[in-house]
Amino acid sequence: MDGYQLLVTGDCLYTLRHLAAKQVQAVRFDKKSGAEQVDSIGRIARLKKLLPGLFLVPGHDHTDYQWKHLVPGLAKGWFTEDERKALADYESRLFGDNWTLGADDLPRFVRGPAGANAGTVSDPMQK
């Protein structure tokens, strides 16, 4: 790929925000597998710092990161320079030092309509 790489993280990194592993945690079925997942997320984060042209493709990201930034490039099979800049800008607005999220960027549960069995998770950057 022309100056960039993609890493499909699958279920290890459900959403981009899960890079903030101390603030956002995935479902954990036991202590051992949870610790292994956090270790893997740390490895992904370190790799991302080593390879600035590396973009992550999380397994279940429902935010603008996926729908507005990843999907168009994935659908056509490549990312333009402007699309790569938009991905990088999104990441830099989202994360502080050491992959931390600001209070306004933490995901929050949003109740579904009255009578609904399920809700959703907010996308704080969607404005």
Label residue 92 exposed, middle or buried (CB < 10 Å: 0-12, 13-18, 19+): exposed
Q: Where is 9: in which H helix or E strand?
A: strand 5-10
Q: Please report whether residue 112 resides in a domain.
A: no
Sign of CA dihedral 8, 124, 27, 47: positive
The tokens for 87 are: 């991905």
Whether 115 is in a domain gets the answer no
Domain interval for residue 44: 5-102
pTM for this entry:
0.85
pLDDT score of 127: 53
Q: How many domains does the chain have?
A: 1
pLDDT in tens, 74-105: 999 999 999 999 999 999 999 977 899 998 88
Can you give the pLDDT at residue 97? 75
